[in-house]
Amino acid sequence: MSIEPETARSRLVALREELRDLSAAAREDRQPVALDQQSGGRLSRQDSLQVQAMAKAAEARRAQEIRRIDAALERLENDEYGWCVECGETIEARRLEIDPATPRCAGCA
């Protein structure tokens, strides 16, 4: 592995913080849509429901990515970072540079 553990750690922590900030910024979009007949009718409500559904889907993707990052940080702590969780071979440095949370080598991905 040619990526330094501290470099990987700082990138992973920064990515996790960015995802948490995005999640906080989108919190309002995930709130239940109020049934308000006075503010625009059925199409407005459908638009609001669509925005809510997209925000919830984006939040689920962010949560999954945070779990991947946390798992990579745990592998760093256990001196297992940079090794494929499937076959045990080294994960290519270029692959780790592109996605520092990747748990698998290109062959197992």
CATH number of the domain where residue 20 is located: 1.20.120.910
- Side-chain half-sphere exposure of 19, counting CA atoms within 13 A: 19
Give yes or no for residue 18 having a pLDDT over 60. Answer: yes
* 70 in a structural domain: yes
Q: H-helix or E-strand containing 36? A: none
Domain count for the chain: 1
pLDDT digits (tens, 9 = 90+) for 57-107: 999 999 999 999 999 999 999 999 999 999 999 999 999 999 999 999 999
* 108 in a structural domain: no
Residue 2: pLDDT band with limits 50, 70, 90: low
Domain range spanning residue 36?
A: 5-98
* 104 in a structural domain: no
Residues 6+ apart with CB under 8 A from 86: 104, 105, 108
* 103 in a structural domain: no
